[in-house]
Structure 1
């Protein structure tokens, strides 16, 4: 598997990342062990998790496999903080105390003294950015995080955090990016290019819709059919997505590959993308992604760009 530098840093990450959103909920410890083993055997390094995935149990499961299934030094470990669990559900909290407490708890669950990349998971309108950045600075200074970044933040906040942290210290932005979600191209990607940040693309398969499996039916074992993930997939099952999916299928048929392969190749060919994070639930799903090595002809890229082009207006476009 290809390795890429994360933006302007010296951190190398695999072009595909292993997402763990479903671990300890839909993916048990046996399946997770197989996923992680297959991923590392294929040359994968970037393992992406978060403190709030399965209320911390996903991190716990990742930690239990490091040192047993694969060596800790064989993975680039990324986790996220800033969403804490309350009786009312998840609450965004990017205050200094919440972030640093969350980092310490994550390290305990992961069974390690540091993470390679630590991200603030979501914007917190109640906490000044200078305070959030202060927590990132402290994590770097203490060695608990080797690199830091943001997740799901708009372009202006990304630029503000990079300015406060100082040149070259904000490493990455992790954002949803696929043929069905190209909103980051308006401001986040230009900011990342200008600031030298690496882009980690989560849900590069459009929450599974770009595999083509929802074209004619709702598979019983799919996320869209599950009680807790149906709402995650539903926004991409409407009429807006249909032309994009059909164009993707046509391109795949012409190239003699799968829609999944074309969708991943498109994302990995975009400016500043260091890794596409695939949240496979099963080893079978992961193997389908690990086998991708498609180079898209320029005319197919142009066709896919055109049919999936995001709406834009003033001031991004005049």
Structure 2
């Protein structure tokens, strides 16, 4: 496993991170979910990402059980807030930030998280209030540093322009061969500003593993077939022309000596501004394959060809 610096924080994270959105929030049986966490740690993953809203606290509670007894400095732990935790608890107000960090720490059974992230931008709360409250959380020692997920570039710039507040060190966007929007503005801005990307859905919700064959039935054990795990699944990525294009990437992956999933992860990690790619798993053996992407060098020509194939299928190219 290779490691990268997380922005200007000084924290090092494993290039492959373990995401708990679907795995520990109830999409997988608890014993299996804990087995996945343990396998991730066994193969060198030290960066674990969660959020209060995943299963309305369930993911954090299961992670606490999985991580119980381990030295706190043996893993890097990140969580988030923004989405509703009740009819009245949501957003990034000062009250919510302090309330939700305390609730997350209690569920996780730790005295601090390494990274506390704003899950989305809160239009209902002044940015100054959010940044001041996050700064208070850092100064209290409850979080070592702060980040955000899916913030627009102008809001990132506004936060960076403030003085006397904690500085963001991470951005968590959706980014993959199928979804390259962050390349337009967010990645260039962050690269100039000491902010790293922690990428979610680097495998395009599993489509970039090649498991979905055009014209074939959806595998019964796949995310697309699961009522509990296909939340926000992008159905347009299951269109025949997309699946056919993805199948054409397999020979390119073979040329690189990689599986298709490893090839897709290596493509994300080719970007220097990416600190880590977040993976999920329903079975421990899936983790074994994914970590094989760390540290792999792939000829740029193979990545260029992959981008061209997907562009011909109507998927957006960089900068479009």
Could you say whether these structures have the same fold, taking a TM-score greater than 0.5 normalized by the shorter chain as the test? yes
Partner of 2:143: 145
Root-mean-square deviation (CA, aligned residues, Å) is 2.2
Q: Work out whether residues 4 and 13 of structure 1, in 8 Å CA contact, stay in contact via their aligned partners in 2.
A: yes
Please identify, of 93-102 and 237-246, the stretch whose mean Cα deviation from structure 2 is larger. 237-246
The Cα shift of 1:137 comes to: 0.8
Partner of 1:2: 2
Distance 1:91 1:124, change over 3 A: farther
CA distance in 2, matches of 1:231, 1:32: 18
**2:101 partner SS:** helix
Q: Structure 2 unaligned runs (5+)?
A: none
Distance 1:67 1:231, change over 3 A: closer
CA distance in 1, matches of 2:6, 2:203: 21
What does the per-residue CA deviation read over 1:199-232, in whole Å, with 9 as the maximum and x for residues that have no partner? 1001110011100001233011111111133343
What does the per-residue CA deviation read over 1:59-101, in whole Å, with 9 as the maximum and x for residues that have no partner? 0011122233x332211000001112335xx985121111221
CA distance in 1, matches of 2:290, 2:135: 35
For 1:305, which of 304, 307, 310 is the aligned residue? Answer: 307
Structure with the bigger percentage of strand: 1
What does the per-residue CA deviation read over 1:248-294, in whole Å, with 9 as the maximum and x for residues that have no partner? 22312333431101001000111300000001122121122123353
Please identify, of 252-261 and 237-246, the stretch whose mean Cα deviation from structure 2 is larger. 237-246
CA distance in 2, matches of 1:218, 1:47: 29
The Cα shift of 1:182 comes to: 0.5
Distance 1:225 1:312, change over 3 A: closer
Distance 1:301 1:136, change over 3 A: same
Please identify, of 132-141 and 107-116, the stretch whose mean Cα deviation from structure 2 is larger. 132-141
CA distance in 2, matches of 1:131, 1:41: 40
Distance 1:283 1:181, change over 3 A: same
CA distance in 2, matches of 1:92, 1:308: 38
Partner of 1:81: 81
Please identify, of 156-165 and 304-313, the stretch whose mean Cα deviation from structure 2 is larger. 304-313
Distance 1:104 1:125, change over 3 A: same
**1:119 partner SS:** strand
CA distance in 2, matches of 1:80, 1:165: 23
For 1:172, which of 155, 170, 178 is the aligned residue? Answer: 170
CA distance in 1, matches of 2:195, 2:255: 35
Please identify, of 3-12 and 35-44, the stretch whose mean Cα deviation from structure 2 is larger. 35-44
**1:31 partner SS:** helix
CA distance in 2, matches of 1:202, 1:176: 5
What is the count of residue pairs matched by the alignment? 312
Distance 1:35 1:48, change over 3 A: same
**1:275 partner SS:** strand
What does the per-residue CA deviation read over 1:181-212, in whole Å, with 9 as the maximum and x for residues that have no partner? 11011111011111110110011100111000
Partner of 2:221: 221
**1:117 partner SS:** strand
CA distance in 1, matches of 2:29, 2:177: 30
Tell me, yes or no, if structure 1 residue 296 matches structure 2 residue 294: no
CA distance in 1, matches of 2:166, 2:25: 36
CA distance in 1, matches of 2:164, 2:181: 26
The Cα shift of 1:153 comes to: 1.0
Partner of 1:62: 63
Partner of 2:31: 30
What does the per-residue CA deviation read over 1:130-153, in whole Å, with 9 as the maximum and x for residues that have no partner? 111112111111110001010111
What does the per-residue CA deviation read over 1:103-136, in whole Å, with 9 as the maximum and x for residues that have no partner? 1100000001100000000111111211111121
CA distance in 2, matches of 1:98, 1:135: 9
Distance 1:142 1:244, change over 3 A: farther
Q: Work out whether residues 256 and 299 of structure 2, in 8 Å CA contact, stay in contact via their aligned partners in 1.
A: no
Partner of 1:186: 184
